[in-house]
Chains A and B, each alone.
Chain A
Amino acid sequence: MDYTLTEDQEQLRRLVEEFVARDVKPYWEKLGYEDFPWPLFRQLGDLGLAAIPFPAEYGGGGLDYSSYIVVLEDLSRLGSHLGSVLSVHGLPQLIINHFGTDAQKQKYLPAMARAELLGAFALTEPHAGSDAANINTRAELRGDKYILRGQKIWITHGGEADVYIVMAVTEKGKGAKGVSSFIVEKGTPGLAFGKRERPMGLPHHTREVFFEDCEIPRGNLIGREGDGFKVAMTALDSGRITVAATSIGTAQEAFDHALRYSTERRAFGQAISEFQGIQFMLADMAAAIEAARCVTRKAAWLRDRELPFNAIASMAKLLATDSAMKVTTDAVQIYGGYGTSEDYPVQALMRQAKIGQIVEGTNQIQRMIIARELLKKFKE
């Protein structure tokens, strides 16, 4: 495994760095974070970045996850806003690409790659998230249509997205085996949106989604009935690598600010970077970022080689998001009182870091996944 970037990855990284400096930063400064950043999303499509790891025959970039995470990390340098958009847009693309029929792929993937259609993934409900076998949304086959009834919550891109992958129960009492997944397009009668939940630091992100006798064609089923749990877990295994990458970008940004600030701020006649107490914090922050980046790259590397990667992906998600929380919190600490001010960048990064420990399975769930993998060989 090679830790240096390939020539192509370095080019991609520089492209993203330039895009962030030239267009993303001024956009946030001018328009703030309240609304979904449509112009930036469309621009990701123009730059060829809206479908990096998906096949070129459906308009994707045809690159590997190792390249994809380089882009995600740098896209998250000003916070996870845009990195998360790309990462969440990737879940329905991954599902359609992996499990969809050719007709479904033709219909959605090229338009999603061009960023003409935005994707969303609707699993979580008020009383079930990672416990996907216990969701309540129902899908009932009637003739050549499925009728969906139920409620989803915390749906990233809810209300904005054009294409929703929805998990619903097709056969009650069968637990995980009774769950199926469907494509629901925005504009379908019965698909309704609730209020924004305004997660901390990411106000544009999520919304409640309702299905009120929402009729969709039978052809919108993904795979077969009962495949839903497998579909969701496949998407989340890969999604965890992308959450890790966006968290690392956010942590690196906070660290770079704190490092520079520590050399400028003076106390007791010297820069605070001269104090061992600050130096140890900086060293721990740098070490945590580096370690998280290495394990995240390893997860991508394994995935690219079609080797088992799900426990490592969980480790990457766990380490990267915990590190991001710690690093951004310490960055605020190094800034002292200024760190808490909205006029300085680090508090916003700290607020955004928290959700990383919760999404795509809480970090407690990640530990369960890792432990299950560790103990597997002792089970009969």
Chain B
Amino acid sequence: MNIVVCLKQVPKKDSILRIGSDGKWIDERDISYEMSEADAYALEEALRQKEKHGGEVIVVSLGPERARQSIKEALAKGADRAIHLFDSVFDTATDSAAVARAISAALKDEKYDLILTGLQSDDYGFAQVGLIVAEQLGLPSATIVMEVQPEDSAVRVKRELESGWFQWVRLPMPALLTIQSGINQLRYATLKGIMAAKKKEIREVKAADIGLTSDDLKPGQVIERAYLPEKTKRTEFIEGKPAEAAAKLVEKLRFDARVI
């Protein structure tokens, strides 16, 4: 079974974020990056399926030069080869549709049974790229996947619904699944894995190589302003007898502030 995993590199979770000088995104200087968390679980799921059923795990990532670090980490953990969509033309591809167009084009000649992506990225959090890729490649898809069970030419998946409900769905393969964080235990890249990754292929793909021009990558959606949550102060006096006031306070703490 051949599995493609889409990876995105995002700012590390403990980063101290500042808004950039253009006011449209964060200041990317002095920030460390890591594999988006849900993508790491998608990769882990792919590696586990490969261990059970054989085949190949192919990583695809669109990003600047630094994204190579996350690609190498995936290879060190056991992915077989990688495609790095790396071209200044891709810099404008900041919305989901443009990124998906690039990924779909890069996968046109690949043979795969499954494409796994994280449910959403830890930076933009659109949760769209996977679904648009599926649409563009004409694949069935399932979101928020908790468990993956391949059967012959189909795959059964457990999806997470609201309020603790789950749903089992069966899809013909090839299919695209967006994976929920926490569905498995992530492995470490070992020293041996890091050394073995040096011999694995990272194919750098430019827009022209997959027949795309900057027109194809124009975003349909742009971020106009990025800002930190604005804090406001409001003081409220609760009147009444102590017992009643205490009851009101508890209610407010529980339902408005949601701290108890």
Binding site for B on A (CB under 8 A): 7-8, 10-12, 14-15, 18-19, 46-49, 52, 61-63
Min CB gap B197→A, angstroms: 8
Task: Give chain B residues whose Cβ lies under 8 Å from the Cβ of A61.
Answer: 191, 195
Report the bound CA distance from A68 to B136 in whole Å.
Answer: 47
Whether A11 pairs with B76 at a CB distance below 8 angstroms is yes
Chain B residue nearest to A14 in the complex (CB): B73
Contacting pair B188 A11 (CB below 8 A): no
Nearest CB in chain B: distance from A79 CB, A: 19
Q: Which of B168-187 contact A (CB under 8 A)?
A: none
Q: Does the CB pair B190–A48 fall under 8 Å?
A: yes
Contact mask for chain B residues 54-91; partner A; CB cutoff 8 A; 1 contact, 0 none: 00000000000000010011001000000000000000
- The list of the 7 closest CB pairs from A to B, nearest first, reads A48-B191, A48-B190, A11-B194, A48-B192, A61-B191, A47-B190, A15-B189
Q: Does B198 contact A (CB under 8 A)?
A: yes
Q: Give the interface centre of B76, B194, B198 by most chain A CB atoms within 10 Å.
A: B194
Inter-chain contact A8/B190, CB cutoff 8 Å: no
Q: A63's closest neighbor in chain B, by CB?
A: B191
Query: How far is it, in angstroms, between the C-alpha of A19 and the C-alpha of B72 when the chains are bound?
Result: 17
Task: Classify the interface of chain A: helix, strand, loop or mixed.
Answer: helix
Among candidates A11, A47, A62, residue contacting B73 with C-beta atoms closer than 8 Å: A11
A47→B76 contact, CB < 8 A: no
| Known contacts A8-B194, A18-B188; 10 further A-B pairs (Cβ under 8 A) | A7-B69, A11-B69, A11-B73, A11-B76, A12-B194, A15-B190, A15-B191, A47-B191, A48-B190, A48-B192
Query: Do the beta carbons of B69 and A12 come within 8 Å of each other?
Result: no
Jot down 11 A-B pairs with beta carbons below 8 A, ordered by A.
A8-B194, A11-B73, A11-B76, A14-B73, A15-B188, A47-B191, A48-B190, A48-B192, A48-B193, A49-B191, A61-B191
Residue total for B at the interface (Cβ-Cβ under 8 A):
14
What residues of B have a CB within 8 angstroms of the CB of A7 in the complex? 69, 72
Number of A-B contacts (CB under 8 A): 38
- B192 — nearest CB in chain A belongs to which residue? A48
User: Bound complex: CA of A49 vs CA of B193, how far in Å?
Assistant: 12
* A11 to B72 Cα, complex, angstroms: 8
In the complex formed, the residue of B with least CB distance to A62 is B195
> Given A8-B195, A8-B198 in contact, is the A46-B190 Cβ separation under 8 Å?
yes
B12 CB to nearest chain A CB (Å): 10
Q: Which of B197-229 contact A (CB under 8 A)?
A: 197-198
- State in angstroms the CA–CA spacing of A18 and B193 once bound together: 15
Contacts of B197 in A (CB 8 A): 11
Q: How far is the CA of A29 from the CA of B72 in the complex (A)?
A: 32
Residue of A8, A11, A49 with most chain B CB atoms under a 10 A cut-off: A11
Chain B hits for A46, CB < 8 A: 190
**Smallest Cβ distance from A52 to chain B, in angstroms?**
7
Q: With A8-B194, A12-B194 as given contacts, are A19 and B73 in contact (CB-CB < 8 Å)?
A: no
Distance in angstroms from B3 CB to nearest chain A CB is 23
* Complex contact B191–A12 (CB within 8 A): yes
Question: Which residues of the other chain, A, contact B192 by a CB distance below 8 angstroms?
Answer: 48
Report whether A47 and B188 are in contact in the complex, using a CB–CB cutoff of 8 Å. Answer: yes
Q: Shortest beta-carbon distance, B11 to chain A, in Å?
A: 15
Which A residues lie within 8 Å of B69 (CB)? 7, 10-11, 14
Measured between beta carbons, the chain A residues less than 8 angstroms from B76 are 11
**Closest Cβ–Cβ distance, residue A30 to chain B (whole Å):** 18
Chain B residue at minimal CB-CB distance from A60: B191
CB-nearest residue of chain B to A52? B191
Q: Which chain B residue shows the least CB distance to A9?
A: B194
| Cα of A200 to Cα of B116 in the assembled complex, Å | 50
Q: From residue A259, how far is it (CB to closest CB) to chain B in Å?
A: 12
Taking CB atoms, residues of chain A closer than 8 Å to B73 are 11, 14
Q: Return chain B residues, CB-CB under 8 Å to A48.
A: 190-193
